[in-house]
Amino acid sequence: EAQVTQNPRYLITVTGKKLTVTCSQNMNHEYMSWYRQDPGLGLRQIYYSMNVEVTDKGDVPEGYKVSRKEKRNFPLILESPSPNQTSLYFCASSPKGQPTFYGYTFGSGTRLTVV
Amino acid sequence: GQNIDQPTEMTATEGAIVQINCTYQTSGFNGLFWYQQHAGEAPTFLSYNVLDGLEEKGRFSSFLSRSKGYSYLLLKELQMKDSASYLCAVRDNRSGGYQKVTFGTGTKLQVIP
């Protein structure tokens, strides 16, 4: 089954404790992105990757890191989480080029709480 | 940058028709998506428009006017399970060949009996 797999689904952590949210897709997609979703603010892009070893900042990159060492994996790293990073996170992927009628395929989401 | 506007909330009656509007401002427009998102779940793809006009898919239709920067999602024969948020998303071309997708804040639709 074609899918984007995120782990974990739920995570509660303490301020300053490094964490990684994993994302893996099995569709051979070139594009991958991380979004966070907060009430009233919608989905905001954190980082994106156009292909292996190619990553760039989205709209809200502060406090996050990513890597793209393999095409299928795009982990999100919070080196020193803070309470303002409490949010619902989505990983998404899409194929490159036209036509890309279906836009993104999303993972199931990770609900992160930083206390 | 992009600016995408859609109503925050709407209420409609089961069996009725509802239209959710979306206006946008962007350069390098390369398509508009509508996604459905139930609370706490991932967005799921509903429709895609890149040319002007109406795209129909079952109970759902989506319309685009590029000159007006306007789209709407039309839901017919509403069912209780249609209660969800509906996200308008615009894709545009960026430098280096990247096609960025920016999401509106979503319209929360409540279907009542």
* Contact across the interface for B42 and A109, Cβ inside 8 Å: yes
A106: pLDDT confidence band, cut at 50, 70 and 90? very high
Q: Which two tokens stand for residue B15?
A: 């069996």
Return per-residue pLDDT of chain B as tens, 113 residues: 568 999 999 999 999 999 999 999 988 888 999 999 999 899 999 999 999 999 998 999 999 999 999 999 999 999 999 999 999 999 887 766 677 888 999 999 999 99
**B96 residue type, one letter:** G
Residue A60: predicted pLDDT: 96
User: Does residue A99 surpass a pLDDT of 50?
Assistant: no
Cα separation, B93 vs B29, in Å, equals 7
Residue A97: predicted pLDDT: 57
CB of A106 within 8 Å of a chain B CB? The answer is yes
CB of B99 within 8 Å of a chain A CB? The answer is yes
Residue A98: predicted pLDDT: 46
* Contact across the interface for A109 and B41, Cβ inside 8 Å: yes
E strands, B6-43, in order:
9-13, 18-25, 29-37
Residue A100: predicted pLDDT: 55
Residues β-bridged to residue A16: none
Question: What distance in Å separates residue B86's CA from the closest CA in chain A?
Answer: 11
Residue B56: predicted pLDDT: 93
* Contact across the interface for A90 and B41, Cβ inside 8 Å: no
Residue A76: predicted pLDDT: 98
Chain A to chain B, count of Cβ pairs less than 8 Å apart?
54
- Restricting to B residues 72-91, those with a Cβ less than 8 Å away from any Cβ of A are 87, 89, 91
Q: Which two tokens stand for residue B99?
A: 């096609």
Residue B30: predicted pLDDT: 87
Write down the mean pLDDT value for chain A. Answer: 92
DSSP state of A26: S
In order of A42, A93, B9, B57, B89, the CA distances from A103 in angstroms are 17, 8, 24, 16, 9
User: Does residue A50 surpass a pLDDT of 80?
Assistant: yes
Residue B5: predicted pLDDT: 96
**Concatenated DSSP letters of B49-76:** E-SSEEEEETTEEEEEETTTTEEEEEE-
CB of B93 within 8 Å of a chain A CB? The answer is no
- Burial class of residue A7, CB neighbours in 10 A (0-12, 13-18, 19+): middle
Q: Which two tokens stand for residue B94?
A: 């960026």
Asked if B50 contacts B65 with a C-beta cutoff of 8 angstroms, the reply is no
